[in-house]
Amino acid sequence: MNMDAETQAEILTLKTKHYLITMMGLAADEASDEEFYRALSYALREEIMINWLACTRTHRENYARTVNYLSMEYLPGRILSNNITNLAADEIIRIVMQKMNRRAQNIINREADPGLGNGGLGRLASCFLDSLATLHYPARAYGLRYQYGIFEQQIRDGVQIEAPDCWLLSENPWEFRRDLRRVIVKYCGTTEASTNIQGDEVMDLKNAEEVYALPFDIPIVGYNKEGQFSVVTLRLWSTKESPRNFKLQSYNAGRLDQAAENTLLTDVLYPNDVHDVGKRIRLKQEFLLVSASLQDITSSYTKRYGHFHSFADKVCIQINDTHPSLVIPELIRMLTKQYDIPWKTALDMAQAVTGYTNHTVMREALEEWDQDLMKYLLPRQFHIIERLNQDFCNTLRTRYPNDEGLIRRTSILEDGKVRMANLAIIGSHKVNGVAELHTAILKNIVFKDFNEIYPDKFIAITNGVTQRRWLLHCNPELSRFITKRIGEGWITDFPQIAKLLPYAEDPESQKAFMDIKKKNKMRLIESVAQENRLEGKDSNSAFPLLDVNSIFDVHIKRMHEYKRQLLNLLHAIALYQELLQNPNHSRVKRTIIFGGKAAAGYEVAKNVIRFIHCVARKINRDPNINGMLKILYIENYNISKAELIIPAADVSQQISVAGMEASGTGNMKLAINGALTVGTDDGANIEMRMAVGDTEWPFLFGATAEEVMGMRIANSYDPEKLIEKDVRLKNALNALLDRTFALNESEHHAGCGLYDRLAGMHDGFPADHYFVLNDFASFYEVQKKVEHLYTEPSLWARTALINISSMGSFSSDVTIENYCKKIWDLQPMPIDPVILQQIRYEYSMLDVCRVYR
Ligand code: 26Q
């Protein structure tokens, strides 16, 4: 039955009213925007439920090989708006809003943006789920339902303040509590050895702490093509809702803090995007995810098959970084203890099902846990790790006699620590880096020994982003521009974006592109202004009047020294000084936009934020520079903010010190929205440059990873010398020290701290660990080139269009196809039409539920 949009909108309107009345006791005109948001979500949800059910049933009845994605973090962004996009229901919703006299934006913005992740790694997981659903792969995802997501960043006088993010205050229409699927997770206790029927030693656990993990399911909706769409389940575990978690003994002994601990396990996300050392609760969280998910995976497997012969044929588990790497010992433990599988078979099975994705080359960010802590919290798993390590070391001793150094370097247990990366590498069949350069560094440096031991284990799978959220949804104008020229194939087959290439030379398209950019810049300006109005800030002092004709130069990502926001700031200072000194300059108007959170305890990163505000305060108000330069810091950068900022960007700052950014994914989002990259040769920037071609990638700068490595090895880096020979740099640096920007002692202190990081000596080691000063001159030059090109709008548009059309391989769809081929050996399985028919019939004989086209 094919209904027109009008009819479908009428049905959706009726359903929305129905929910308002039956669930909230409200007539349509009484509902607040938030209540309306909820009712509309419930109404739209009905549609999704049918396909969700049909999808799970199709996979179950066909014994589909399934991937289980385990991640401590997800950043899905707002769900309603994305579901509207993926259902291709925009037009219907537009009519509904009109009929019910509401503004779509107001409704959509009522939804909290779930901040269940720190940054890149969490957002990547969510892009993957969008692609898995869209491409109809049998997949499930597991994570934690943190009561408080990543903190809300507030900025007071330039100082970052972390406020709790209470995203679950009102009922969430996108989650389903599944009481019947709750499981028990066990910690602590004492072990007693016994044997399984194979004669392998297994452990019983006495006096353990028991915690209930209760799952909440969120449907992840794939893109709807001609009425066909799949739905992937994201299952998030919570310990919050379960009274039994309250430890009775501790309660009776008056130890209320201890008694509550297990109820609080899923309360907070650890807000650090590098390893947060030694936090007991974090280890408990990681095991909660692992144990609960494995119980879920094995119980649904055994229910279906009744034996374990084909476990490795039917199940894959992908771990997002080492955070869930306890799956390896825990799976081995379950197989030997609960299912009586011999040790060696269990080990082979665990290895065959597990794949490990690494996201960092920074040694200090590789996860390590204290052996005593793990032994105390997870005695049985620790025991398995010991045995696994013993086996591994024995094999090495046979293969490489007399190489004790090798064993020390690769052993899981060393120096009182459990090295989670070593565990993950040994326990999985494939380890992948997230870009080519990153993988090369893993193979040749960080995990060199392992690469020699397991030459086929390490592979590169370059990250990607979903063009549905990051173009179709967040940039409707540009999406229409593209679809008008090349059709809508790009939405589910991004390599088709290459068809846009000829339009790069077309003056009319160039102009249309610049017009769209301008509109998106106005949209951003308006939203910043509105936010300031809402917060009662004086619009003149709190935010600079932004000029839509200036270059929007965007640097959005977590605040981290290696990402070098400080390099960008030094350049801004240099530019300011130049504007002051030379009134006849030929520079082009620029708005530098920063956004990003600093980990709460990362003082340097917080000082960078603070000093950006000091510099912004002065520059934005200085009448002497005629508004040539503005700096805007966007507070509380998150997915929703990204959706506004990215379409408005002219320039994308991707300026990490080469060799340190594993991949970057913001670089891809900005590029597909027509921003040009100012970038070092780092992470996926390199592959993007190669896809675009060197001549159309004009803003490359900085030392290469090899050069950086060379300087590190030869210990030849001398920041002092650089400062001596570059006045521009010297003057910019001095402005951190003197009182040009700092207005009080604590600001001055922050500036001095930053100066010291860059130019001071530290215990005989040179300063500037991230080579900011080294790349300053080339950054300055490349920024001049930016301005030069910007003065030629048609050339600028041409380059941007060439960039967009070259991004075909940076879709997470392509990335997921690679995982399916190279790691998971997974085949797509769209919903069986017969099953869909049955469920629709059950839902309603009239099939009135179809609201999409
Ligand atoms: C670990 C232990 C304890 C507490 C926290 C953590 C922790 C949490 C998050 C460690 C690391 C992270 C996040 C890392 C991350 O986001 N890495 C980024 O991953 C992106 C996706 O692959 C890459 O594009 C980025 O280059 C990389 O920095």
Question: How far apart are the CA of 744 and the centre of ligand 1, in A?
Answer: 35
Cβ–ligand 1 contact at 433 (below 6 Å): no
Is residue 526 within 8 A of residue 539, CB to CB? The reply is: no
Query: CA 160, CA 271: separation in Å to the nearest integer?
Result: 14
Question: How far apart are the CA of 121 and the centre of ligand 1, in A?
Answer: 5
Closest CA relative to residue 675, chosen from 700, 653, 643: 653
Cβ–ligand 1 contact at 378 (below 6 Å): no
The whole-number pLDDT of residue 844 equals 75
The token pair that represents 74 in the structure block: 């997800």
Strands (E), 222-349: 231-238, 315-320
The DSSP element (H or E) to which 287 belongs, if any, is helix 280-305
Determine which one of 65, 140, 438, 558 is catalytic: 558
509-to-194, 500, 698 alpha-carbon distances in Å? 74, 10, 21
Query: CA 181, CA 175: separation in Å to the nearest integer?
Result: 14
Has 359 been annotated as catalytic?
A: yes
- Confidence at 584, pLDDT banded by 50, 70, 90: confident
- Write the single-letter amino acid at 451: N
Q: What is the position in ligand 1's atom list of the atom closest to the CA of 122? A: 16
- Confidence at 542, pLDDT banded by 50, 70, 90: very low
Is residue 731 within 8 A of residue 617, CB to CB? The reply is: no
Residue identified by tokens 């060379």 is 710
Residue 169 pLDDT > 90, yes or no?
no
Has 680 been annotated as catalytic?
A: no
Residue identified by tokens 């940076």 is 810
Q: What is the position in ligand 1's atom list of the atom closest to the CA of 73? A: 9
Ordered DSSP codes for 93-148: HHHHHHHHT--HHHHHTTS-----S-SHHHHHHHHHHHHHHHTT--EEEEEE--SB
In tens, the pLDDT along 610-639 reads: 999 999 999 999 999 999 999 999 999 999
Is residue 117 within 8 A of residue 678, CB to CB? The reply is: no
The token pair that represents 706 in the structure block: 């090899």
User: Please, which residues bridge with residue 816 across strands?
Assistant: none
Cβ–ligand 1 contact at 120 (below 6 Å): yes
Is residue 447 within 8 A of residue 425, CB to CB? The reply is: yes
Is residue 656 within 8 A of residue 769, CB to CB? The reply is: no
Closest CA relative to residue 546, chosen from 558, 535, 532: 532
Question: How far apart are the CA of 151 and the centre of ligand 1, in A?
Answer: 16
DSSP code, position 519: H
> Residue 331, Cβ neighbours under 10 Å: how many?
26
Question: How far apart are the CA of 807 and the centre of ligand 1, in A?
Answer: 24
In tens, the pLDDT along 645-680 reads: 999 999 999 999 999 999 999 999 999 999 999 999
Has 563 been annotated as catalytic?
A: yes
Question: How far apart are the CA of 270 and the centre of ligand 1, in A?
Answer: 11
Q: What is the position in ligand 1's atom list of the atom closest to the CA of 118? A: 9
HSE at residue 208, side-chain half, CA atoms within 13 A, is 17
Cβ–ligand 1 contact at 463 (below 6 Å): yes
User: Please, which residues bridge with residue 552 across strands?
Assistant: 591
Is residue 403 within 8 A of residue 426, CB to CB? The reply is: no
DSSP code, position 249: H
Question: How far apart are the CA of 273 and the centre of ligand 1, in A?
Answer: 5
Has 558 been annotated as catalytic?
A: yes
Residue whose CB lies within 8 A of the most ligand 1 atoms, among 273, 369, 373, 420, for a mutation test? 273
Residue identified by tokens 């052993």 is 411
Give the rounded distance of the alpha carbon of 79 from its chain centre.
15
Mean pLDDT for the stretch of residues 354-375: 95
Cβ–ligand 1 contact at 121 (below 6 Å): yes
Closest CA relative to residue 265, chosen from 214, 304, 220, 198: 214
Has 669 been annotated as catalytic?
A: yes
- Dihedral sign, Cα of residue 329, residue 333, residue 336, residue 338: negative
Determine which one of 145, 333, 359, 380 is catalytic: 359
Determine which one of 563, 571, 641, 798 is catalytic: 563
Q: What is the position in ligand 1's atom list of the atom closest to the CA of 124? A: 21
- Write the single-letter amino acid at 59: H
Cβ–ligand 1 contact at 124 (below 6 Å): yes
Residue 847 pLDDT > 80, yes or no?
no
Cβ–ligand 1 contact at 558 (below 6 Å): no
User: Please, which residues bridge with residue 465 across strands?
Assistant: 811
Average pLDDT, rounded, for the chain: 94
Residue identified by tokens 């920024």 is 783
Has 641 been annotated as catalytic?
A: no
The vertex-550 CA angle with 545 and 554, nearest 5°, equals 90
Cβ–ligand 1 contact at 118 (below 6 Å): yes
- Confidence at 257, pLDDT banded by 50, 70, 90: low
The token pair that represents 442 in the structure block: 């893993």
Phi, psi (5° rounding) for residue 206?
-115, 145
Is residue 16 within 8 A of residue 39, CB to CB? The reply is: yes
Question: How far apart are the CA of 741 and the centre of ligand 1, in A?
Answer: 33
Q: What is the position in ligand 1's atom list of the atom closest to the CA of 434? A: 22
**pTM for this prediction:** 0.97
In tens, the pLDDT along 271-302 reads: 887 777 779 999 999 999 999 999 999 999 99
